[in-house]
Amino acid sequence: MAFVRLLKDLMREKGIGSRIVPIVPDESRTFGMDAFFPTAKIYNPDGQNYLSVDRELVLAYKESIQGQILHPGINEAGAVAAFTAAGTAYATHGEPLIPIYVFYSMFGFQRTGDSFWAAGDQMTRGFIIGATAGRTTLTGEGLQHADGHSPILASTNPAVITYDPAYGYELGIIMRAGLERMYGGGSDDPNVMYYLTVYNEPIIQPPLPDGLDADAVVRGIYRLKPGNDDGGAPKAQILASGVAVPWALEAQQLLADHWGVSADVWSVTSWTELRRDALLAEEESFLNPDAEARVPFVTQQLGDAPGPIVAVTDYMKAVPDQIRQFLPQEFATLGADGFGFSDTRAAARRYFKIDSHSVVVRTLELLAKRGEVDADAPRQAIEKYSLLTIP
């Protein structure tokens, strides 16, 4: 919903709105984009020559020669082809267009990833929106929507800039940066595609935090909420992205209230961009052995952070593990590996051991090994939160 509202405002923006090309294969109503039908309309070179079955609804399906939305039907391959055509219009027609392709998360890099490689080869620009993202946010429909690996698949494409934002303000900052890079004229490498994962999780959207470093959001990580540190509490760092951020915040509170642990929570907007920056720093150092080595951004942010690190995601563990080698602390990952679990969200998250209670227990285990909490604390926490039971 946050993304759709943002897109609706962009489409009304003078000078840029008419160049936005929403592409939706099948899921317009699912994503709340039927609100676009009466005004933006669906493009059809022949107009609408039939009565739609929903014609009596306020948000009825409307086609038009002047339509702005591309609706290729249940045809992901055709949708990516349309995305590529619109995303290369700046070169083929001298008319920059901004394609925004919205799809069920699993139907992107899982099913049409090779087409995105071809799009990168053609220097396509635009936004790719993996909606209903993650392995536990669309339960009940089996494995076809249990996407726990698209960011890893996307990371293999050099032209794809991958983000896993948690909040609407992060999404807005990232999309603005993407528009400036791809269409602002000041970038040395504008021929990229921004892949943004968005969820259908019912959460309260917080306001833009005071003093937020927007550059840190774009580069991949920022401290969302420091722990309450009285100077004597054991410290830990919790890293989370996307839908996992609310669980991390809940775990932070439980650690403080039940176990006297002060944990900082970090929102990781892009594990992949953090890794790419760190690998580039390594290469720069490799080729310039006499120069002072550049410190990767993720190491700048976390290198001196006290305590162990627990990273949690709704994707498989390999996603946060992308940054493990660049941090000196003990590093534990909680992720949704394996096939999906089609039940309630709470049950799915307990099954994968990625919920707030799992974060608490894993943090206590690392602290117990350091001798900073009682050695029996992890076992006590497992019993207290019934961690071995699926709710």
Per-residue pLDDT at 387: 96
Local confidence pLDDT in tens for the 391 residues of the chain: 899 999 999 999 998 999 999 999 877 777 888 888 888 999 999 999 888 888 888 888 899 999 999 998 888 999 999 999 999 999 999 999 999 999 988 888 888 999 999 999 999 999 999 999 999 988 777 788 889 999 999 999 999 999 999 999 999 999 999 999 999 998 999 999 999 999 988 888 999 999 999 999 999 999 999 998 777 899 999 999 999 999 999 999 999 999 999 999 999 999 999 999 999 999 999 999 999 999 999 999 999 999 999 999 999 999 999 999 999 999 999 999 998 787 889 999 999 999 999 999 999 999 999 999 999 999 999 999 999 998 8
Instruction: Provide the 3-class DSSP secondary structure of residue 33.
Output: helix
Q: Residue 63 corresponds to which tokens in the numbers above? A: 């086609």
Q: Which residues of 347-365 are buried (b: 16+ CB within 10 A; e: fewer)?
A: bbbbbbbbbbbbbbbbbbb
Render pLDDT for 173-188 as a digit per residue (tens, 0 to 9).
Answer: 999 999 999 999 989 9
Per-residue pLDDT at 391: 81
Render pLDDT for 102-126 as a digit per residue (tens, 0 to 9).
Answer: 998 888 888 899 999 999 999 999 9
Instruction: Tell me which residue of 175, 185, 96 sits closest to 129, measured CA to CA.
Output: 175
Per-residue pLDDT at 135: 94
Rounded Cα distance between 291 and 286, Å, is 10
Q: Do 220-384 and 2-131+149-197 fall under one CATH topology?
A: yes
Query: Which H helix or E strand runs over 183?
Result: helix 168-183
Domain locations in the chain as residue ranges: 2-131+149-197, 220-384
252-256: which pairs have CB atoms within 8 A and are 24 or more residues apart? 252/225, 252/227, 254/356, 254/357, 254/360, 255/227, 255/360, 255/363, 255/364, 256/227, 256/228
Rounded Cα distance between 2 and 81, Å, is 26
Per-residue pLDDT at 29: 77
Per-residue pLDDT at 266: 98
Render pLDDT for 340-353 as a digit per residue (tens, 0 to 9).
Answer: 787 889 999 999 99
Is CATH 3.30.1330.10 correct for 2-131+149-197?
no
Rounded Cα distance between 345 and 390, Å, is 11
- The one-letter amino acid code at 183 reads Y
Query: How many Cβ atoms from other residues are within 10 Å of residue 309's Cβ?
Result: 24
- Cβ-Cβ contacts under 8 Å for 252 (sequence gap 6 or more): 225, 227, 238, 263, 264, 265
Fold of 220-384: Rossmann fold (3.40.50)
